[in-house]
Structure 1
Amino acid sequence: MSQVLVEHREQILWITINREERRNALNEEVVRSIDRAVAEANADGRSRAIVLTGAGDKAFCAGADLAKNTKGFAFAADFARPKHYIVDLFKRLQECTLPVIARVNGHVMAGGFGLLCACDMAVAADDIRIGTTESKIGVTPMMILPYMLRVLPARRLQEMCITGEQFTAREALDWGVVNYVVPRAELDAKLDWLLARVTDKSPTAIRLGKQAYNAMRDMSLRESLEYAQVMVPVMSSTEDAREGMAAFQEKRPARFSGN
């Protein structure tokens, strides 16, 4: 059975880590499979969003698989090939111009928390727990720290990394890690509600908006203003922008083509 399930549900690509018996822990096959699925969805022209989740109801993702037979997945290094495949996946998610939404159906630990932080939005069940537990085994969450720095308030980040303790879904909501927390029975309904608010919008505006967000986040204020004034005419020249303006003026629903 595949360790990652990839399924088109109308306009949405669902990616499910299918290792329930290992709490959906990450190994090389899982990471590379998610990477491929995200790349294909970003290029196929029919997907409007990506949902990332884990099988079952106990874990979204427990982080790196630390079982003895995994040969130290999280910490092994090939100095002839220093680029780690988890970094490839994080870069892929950074470059993806489709909205990526985490369906947080269970606990989120260590590298799984990095995966959550790499998504654009997240809906979580109210009984999940999150944590970066690496300090308990003598290391720090180095690989996911770049994303944690972008998502978490500084003192909360330090508390998570230093103590290695677990926190609740409500705390994750208060810290801005997830967008919504709902009772488990309402998780999919809330996800569908959020997806509906995404898929009726202009695919072109979303693509350009994500590209601009990721670019500006790494710029100074002056650089981001210069970038914005160049992008405004680019954005305004798209078919979706013209259709959106026409629909507004004609007081009708827009029919976006994604061009």
Structure 2
Amino acid sequence: MSEDVLIERRGAVQWITINREARRNAMNAEVIGLISQGIADAVDSEARAIVLTGVGDKAFCAGADLTKGVKGFAFDVDFSRPRHYIVQLFKQLQDCPLPVIARVNGAAMAGGFGLVCACDMAIAADDIKIGTSESKIGLTPMMILPYMIRVLPPRKLQEMCITGEVFSAAEGLEWGLFNYVVPRAQLDEKLDWLLEHIVPRSPTAIRLGKQAYSATRDMDLRSALEYAQAMVPIMSSTEDAAEGLAAFQEKRAPQWTGN
């Protein structure tokens, strides 16, 4: 596997690390493909969560690699393929049954900011910067806009897209982009704390919960209530639901099957 992306299993957690420090962990087609493969491998294994991050402390991901002429240049178009590789990754993240946590160790800009928005949760060091600089080079953050709309307050979204300026981790926390912002020295400690509250939970409950969240956020209230009503008997008929109730009544730790 290319060294541009490092895949490592740490216990029940799949770590996916963009390893292009000299390019500020910028993405190209190969990097996106390797991230996608790392996610697919985690889903097909016994992993319970995925951590997405970048090497070093300067950049989580600077977005698309804008080096003209390199293989996988961000704006190359293959008209024989209906979906851009970045869109394919975002759809994969949306459909992933495992929780995906962004460990934001450095600047998250442009497409890298979009990656943060597309993850389920995000923890950031307090000295990092975020932004979408596309307007400074005559573009708008088109590809990541659908995720930004779902995460950011409308006025701040417009300001970010129009001005192309950078913002602080504290501002991202205020907007709801980050679950937690901590001093850099405490980043991994806080990440471990969060994972300790994810890994022991029912894989089935997490999988169905992520599916329900993705489905209902795009529904009107009436449709969402009908969906929830239909899902309750499905959810309660799973092996994990039966085990969870039995464990609660017997005052013991549950033994999840993931079914």
TM exceeds 0.5? yes
Equivalent position of 2:101 in the other structure? 101
Structure 1 segments, 4+ long, off by >3 Å, are none
Q: Distance in 1 between matches of 2:69 and 2:77?
A: 16
Q: Is the 8 A contact 2:14 2:50 kept in 1?
A: yes
Per the TM alignment, residue 76 of structure 1 is displaced from its structure 2 partner at its CA by 2.3
Equivalent position of 2:60 in the other structure? 60
**Alpha carbons of structure 1 residues 248 and 71: separation in structure 2 relative to 1, 3 Å:** closer
| Partner deviation per Cα, 1:214-252 (whole Å, 9 max, x = no partner) | 111122212111111111011101111111111111222
Equivalent position of 2:193 in the other structure? 193
Per the TM alignment, residue 255 of structure 1 is displaced from its structure 2 partner at its CA by 2.0
Q: Distance in 2 between matches of 1:253 and 1:90?
A: 35
CA RMSD of aligned residues (A): 1.2
Q: Distance in 2 between matches of 1:81 and 1:69?
A: 20
Per the TM alignment, residue 75 of structure 1 is displaced from its structure 2 partner at its CA by 2.2
- SS of 1:135 mapped into structure 2: helix
Q: Distance in 2 between matches of 1:17 and 1:100?
A: 15
Equivalent position of 1:19 in the other structure? 20
Question: What pairs with 1:49-88 in structure 2 (closer than 5 Å)?
Answer: 49-70=49-70, 73-88=73-88
Equivalent position of 2:6 in the other structure? 5
**Alpha carbons of structure 1 residues 218 and 177: separation in structure 2 relative to 1, 3 Å:** same
Equivalent position of 1:122 in the other structure? 122
| Partner deviation per Cα, 1:148-185 (whole Å, 9 max, x = no partner) | 01100100100100000000000000000010000100
Q: Distance in 2 between matches of 1:239 and 1:52?
A: 30
**AA of the residue aligned to 1:6:** I
- SS of 1:199 mapped into structure 2: coil
Q: Is the 8 A contact 2:30 2:72 kept in 1?
A: no
Q: Distance in 2 between matches of 1:213 and 1:235?
A: 14
Q: Is the 8 A contact 2:110 2:141 kept in 1?
A: yes
Query: Does 2:178 align with 1:172?
Result: no
Equivalent position of 2:161 in the other structure? 161
- SS of 1:70 mapped into structure 2: coil
Q: Distance in 1 between matches of 2:100 and 2:225?
A: 26
Q: Is the 8 A contact 1:54 1:105 kept in 2?
A: yes
Q: Give % identity.
A: 71
Per the TM alignment, residue 71 of structure 1 is displaced from its structure 2 partner at its CA by 6.5
Per the TM alignment, residue 257 of structure 1 is displaced from its structure 2 partner at its CA by 2.0
Query: Does 2:212 align with 1:212?
Result: yes
Q: Distance in 2 between matches of 1:207 and 1:218?
A: 18
Q: Distance in 2 between matches of 1:223 and 1:213?
A: 13
| Partner deviation per Cα, 1:8-52 (whole Å, 9 max, x = no partner) | 1110000000101100000000001111111221122x0000000
Q: Is the 8 A contact 2:100 2:120 kept in 1?
A: yes
Number of positions where the alignment pairs a residue of Structure 1 with one of Structure 2:
258
**AA of the residue aligned to 1:4:** V
Q: Distance in 1 between matches of 2:158 and 2:66?
A: 24
Q: Distance in 1 between matches of 2:29 and 2:75?
A: 12
Equivalent position of 2:181 in the other structure? 181
**AA of the residue aligned to 2:190:** K
Query: Does 2:47 align with 1:47?
Result: yes
Q: Is the 8 A contact 1:66 1:72 kept in 2?
A: no
Structure 1 runs not aligned, ≥5 long = none
